Amino acid sequence: MTDRAGLPRVLVVDDDRSLRRALAINLRARGYRVDEAEDGRSALATAAAGPPDLVVLDLGLPDIDGIEVLAGLRGWTQVPVLVLSARSDQSDKVAALDAGADDYVTKPFGMDELLARVRAALRRGASGTEDQPVVRTASFTVDLAAGRVTDSGGQAVRLTPTEWGLLEALARQAGRLVQGRDLLREVWGPAYGSETNYLRVYMAQLRRKLEPDPRHPRHLLTEPGLGYRLEP
């Protein structure tokens, strides 16, 4: 819950005291109000006492697993949850995303990247990105209501129906990781879920049309083994 001064509240949950303190210091230095919790039960109690605008959640907690904490939160709130974990196995990431996490960062991580993910998650939580009709990036604009894309100069970009379907699915969750299987089912239909080569081909086509440098995309990003993200 944003406080009276308009400062977003971030709940940092990690049993590593030094990391937790480092995160809190960096967040406070950038204007966030920070609550801290060292285990899962205290995290749930803190969130219930004063609902945060964002939860930064470690999975490896000493009392209950972070996935259980996530499930407990999702029982009553859709607050954005950014998961931190030393678990790099793809199955752990998928489990966290399936349980309702909005994003996943593997330890060790760069503080600048983490803070960028925090900002993106807070933007989604504050504005309800999925309901926003226009998603703007520095290189192109997606008008979901009109079903059109324009480049940075305002010129329309021609997309095929499949290209548009893929871009629309990403734009409706801008800033958020969308799993590949979900994209396949949404764009190609419920019978699809493992044809990842479709995604690679069409993402490459979108990058050629929309990214200034398709080989080094800034907005249409791949999360290896997981899915894709449209980063405004």
Question: 181 with 194: CB under 8 angstroms?
Answer: yes
Query: pLDDT tens digits, residue range 159-175?
Result: 998 999 999 889 888 88
Which residue bears the tokens 């996530």?
Answer: 70
Paired tokens of 174: 């801008």
Is residue 89 over pLDDT 90? no
Q: How many CA atoms lie within 13 A of 190 on its CB side?
A: 0
Question: Tokens in use for 86?
Answer: 């030393």
Task: Map residue 56 onto helix, strand or coil.
Answer: strand
161: preceding bond cis by omega (within 30 degrees): no
pTM of the model: 0.61
CATH value of 9-127 in 3.40.50.2300, 3.40.630.30, 3.30.1330.10, 2.70.70.10: 3.40.50.2300
Q: What pLDDT, in 10s, does the model give residues 119-139? A: 888 877 665 444 457 889 999
Architecture of domain 130-230: Orthogonal Bundle (1.10)
